[in-house]
Amino acid sequence: MTESQETPVTPEGEERPHRRIKSFVMRAGRMTEGQQRGLEVGGPQFILPLAGEPVDYDQVFGRSAPRTLEIGFGMGHSLLEMAAAAPEQDFIGVEVHRPGVGALLNGVLTEGLKNLRVYDCDAIEVLNRCVADNSLDRLMLFFPDPWHKARHHKRRIVQLEFAELVRRKLKPGGVFHMATDWQPYAEYMLEVMSAAPGYRNQAADGTYVPRPEERPITKFERRGERLGHGVWDLKFEKLG
């Protein structure tokens, strides 16, 4: 869903010198008719091109409204539900998995939503090239790839450099909302974000917040809860 680093591997399983971190893992997948419809019909309307300068989203959406960006929306169920539940807000999703983009756009067409746009490219490029500083009310990163092995931790998207990039794009008082179902990654994100300058943890005890009502529960999450698996939400607010 999110997070990758283009790291070639030798036949012996050793990593060759790597390139820069990206925000995603490319995964192939077959298209359903609905997903294909979403891309063919919804793509020209709702997919935004990767720009070379900050985008005027007030012009894109035709209004000024609270604005949320989600990195790695997967199949788009949560983002679609959030956009439908808050028509007074605008949402921007970033995802490279084409079936997921198609599924989300098919939902946008079916529900007639006007408050959602999509990028189908690397989220780091989107943040750097398209999003103006101090412009987002919220940035969401839900269930990113935790890269379990210690030698792969450098591939995790949540790093101090990334936290600083997000901080620049948020408005003062804007919120970086993360969620994970793997406790070691939750602890890792808490450690990184607690060390990142310019943020305040919104959790009263300085750790995790209760699951916010605005974050929909996915089928995967419900299944995990039945199996006794936890989910950890973190909310860090940009200081003025």
Query: Considering only CA atoms, which of 175, 46, 173, 55 is closest in space to residue 125?
Result: 55
Domains and CATH numbers, the chain: 33-238 (3.40.50.150)
> Is 169 part of any known ligand binding site?
no
Is 221 among the annotated ligand-binding positions?
A: yes
The residues assigned a catalytic role are 145
User: How much is the pLDDT for 81?
Assistant: 97
| Residue found under tokens 């003025």 | 240
Closest alpha carbon to 232 in 126, 172, 158, 167: 158
Intervals of the chain under pLDDT 70: 1-29
**pLDDT at res. 122:** 95
What is the model's pLDDT at position 28?
Answer: 52
Is 7 marked as binding a ligand?
A: no
Q: pTM for the complete prediction?
A: 0.86
181 is in an annotated binding site: yes
Which amino acid belongs to residue 176? F
Token pair in block for residue 220? 């995967």
Whole-number Cα distances in Å, 184 to 25, 190, 191, 231: 21, 10, 11, 11
Longest CA–CA span in the chain (Å) reads 55
pLDDT computed for residue 3 by the predictor? 46
70 labelled ligand-binding: yes
Q: In the 8-state DSSP scheme, what is residue 147? A: -
Please check if 145 is assigned to a binding site.
yes
Cα–Cα dist 234/211, whole Å: 9
- According to the annotation, is 149 in a ligand binding site? yes
171 assigned binding-site residue: no
Residue type, 227: L
